[in-house]
Amino acid sequence: KHVWFAETINGGFHFSYGDEDLAPNTANIQMTFLRLLSTEGSQNVTYHCKNS
């Protein structure tokens, strides 16, 4: 399911990581291990403009 960025966000921008099918703390645990075991990281973000 696509969710339009900022369509339902009031007062700021927030991204969350995870999947509805996983336990609620799974993404938090994975991000913690990435922080502990890495010195740097990168991320690719793809966005599509609505009504453009």
Q: What's the rounded mean pLDDT across residues 7-18?
A: 63
Each residue's pLDDT tens digit, 21-50: 888 788 888 889 988 999 988 878 787 777
Model confidence, pTM: 0.46
Distances (CA, A) of 7 to 1, 18, 28, 42: 14, 19, 24, 25
Task: Say how far apart CA 7 and CA 49 lie, in whole Å.
Answer: 11
Do residues 35 and 27 touch, judged by C-beta distance below 8 A?
Answer: no
In this prediction, residue 12 has a pLDDT band, given cuts at 50, 70 and 90, of low
